[in-house]
Amino acid sequence: MNVMLSGGGTGGHIYPALAVAEALRQQYPDSTLIYVGNADGMEHTLAEEAGYQFIPVSVAGFKKRGLLHVLPVLYKNWQGLRQAKELLRKFCPDLVIGTGGYACGPLLLEAARLHIPTLLHEQNAIMGKTNKILSRYVNKICLTFPIADLPAAITAKTVLTGLPVRQAILQTEAAAARKWLGLADDKPVLLLTGGSQGARHLNQALAELWPELLAAGVQIVHITGEKLFAETAEQAKKLGLSVMTAEEAASAETFKAQNGFLLLPYLHHMEYAMSAADLVVGRAGASFLAEVMALGKATVLVPYPYAAGNHQVYNAQSMVEAGAALLIDDAALSAQSLRTALQKALFDIKLRDNMAANSAALGKRDAVANIIQTATALAKL
């Protein structure tokens, strides 16, 4: 079985492709899997680190207006189409899989033109620009969330599979996670994360609530983002809270929350924090929400306001409409608005349990299996 995969620009496009590739490698150990993308994109490094052959093609996105910008971009993508055509004729794949980002455009367009089976995965509740174009030409489209406003011809190609979630997330038990973090078993745990870059607005809102939450017996795991750790740690020290240094956090094999408080710049093993939490506060990226739903966690979501196409708001609304999350608009986020949300989602145990159950009902723990089933049926394997 020969499969070519592509998706790039952000981890949200790359990690789903790698998860599908890994499942294919396990199910078809003799298969040939090739990752195609932008030579300068993070997909190049991540694909090779995961052990896949990576072949670059010329691609570029339209980030500015004006003829002087558009013409070079058009030329690069025209080159990419030619290169993709050569690759497809050379490797003759049984299937081509794309997960979004402009990096996957040339490969999937040429594959569709050559009548090679094509599958596209859309992570968000609203299609990105590249996927909107590709959706007209590919054979099948796997969705993470239902998308209601698609044309009928596009809807006919879709299947609701969910988004692949790392096995570590699915396999970590709450009791083991709390032990690893140094948290008590008999007190609620609040996790706040702003993603790998952190979110100053979220950090500031929760920092104002630290004293009252800790006094109420709530344990807090607050992941600030590496660039925002120093300023957030300074706030904690002024309140007399014990905080480890960034160097200590980076080298720690396990953690010991001090009086129920753990402030970290980053956590490589997010499965422990996610599994330990009773309530999660964060943005609304698709991969993050897929993990939340797979674990059945109640959430308070503050969508990133500058996400392309405002897709994080659409992602969050899918969970809110299902009764699995509360939403705070970023512009309305403050200590008071967060306090109001926490009074409902954290301290109202019945509501929190209902939210968790609704979240679990949305979760697709078998998302990667669903995608593989769709892919192999498409390729008639």
| pLDDT tens, position by position, 239-293 | 999 999 999 998 999 999 999 999 999 998 999 999 999 999 999 999 999 999 9
Tokens encoding 340: 């109001």
* Residues 16 and 145 grouped into a single domain: yes
The domain total for the chain is 2
Q: Would you state the pLDDT for residue 1?
A: 85
Its pTM surpasses 0.75 = yes
User: What is the enclosing helix (H) or strand (E) of 341?
Assistant: helix 335-345
Tokens encoding 81: 């189409």
The mean per-residue pLDDT over the stretch 283-306 comes to 95
Long-range contacts of range 236-243, CB-CB < 8 Å, 24 or more positions apart? 236/207, 236/210, 236/261, 236/263, 239/210, 239/211, 241/210
* Residues 159 and 284 grouped into a single domain: no
Q: Domain holding 313: CATH number? A: 3.40.50.2000
Q: Across all residues in the chain, what is the average pLDDT?
A: 93
- Of the listed ranges 135-144, 343-352, 371-380, the one predicted with least confidence: 371-380
The mean per-residue pLDDT over the stretch 124-152 comes to 93
* Residues 372 and 300 grouped into a single domain: no
Cα(82)–Cα(76) distance, integer angstroms: 10
* Residues 16 and 84 grouped into a single domain: yes
Give the count of alpha carbons within 13 A of 223, CB side only: 24
Cα(80)–Cα(104) distance, integer angstroms: 10
Cα(238)–Cα(205) distance, integer angstroms: 16
Q: Which domain holds residue 309?
A: 168-362
- Pick from 92, 118, 109, 103: which is nearest to 56 by CA? 103
* Residues 152 and 189 grouped into a single domain: no
3-class DSSP state of 5: strand
* Residues 245 and 282 grouped into a single domain: yes
Q: Are 6 and 120 in contact (CB under 8 A)?
A: no
pLDDT category of residue 380 using cuts at 50, 70 and 90: confident
Q: Would you state the pLDDT for residue 62?
A: 65
* Residues 297 and 182 grouped into a single domain: yes
Nearby residues of 117 by Cβ (< 8 Å), 6 or more positions away: 94, 95, 96, 111, 139, 378, 379, 380
Q: What percent of the chain has pLDDT over 70?
A: 97
* Residues 238 and 287 grouped into a single domain: yes
* Residues 266 and 349 grouped into a single domain: yes
pLDDT of 68 strictly over 70: no
Report the side by side order of strands in the sheet with 53-56.
53-56, 32-37, 2-6, 95-98, 118-122, 140-143, 158-160
The mean per-residue pLDDT over the stretch 182-203 comes to 91
Q: Which of 37-46, 284-293, 350-359 has the highest mean pLDDT?
A: 350-359
* Residues 144 and 292 grouped into a single domain: no
* Residues 240 and 305 grouped into a single domain: yes
309 vs 21 pLDDT, higher one: 21
* Residues 314 and 297 grouped into a single domain: yes
pLDDT of 85 strictly over 70: yes
The mean per-residue pLDDT over the stretch 170-175 comes to 95
Pairing of strands 219-223, 189-193: parallel
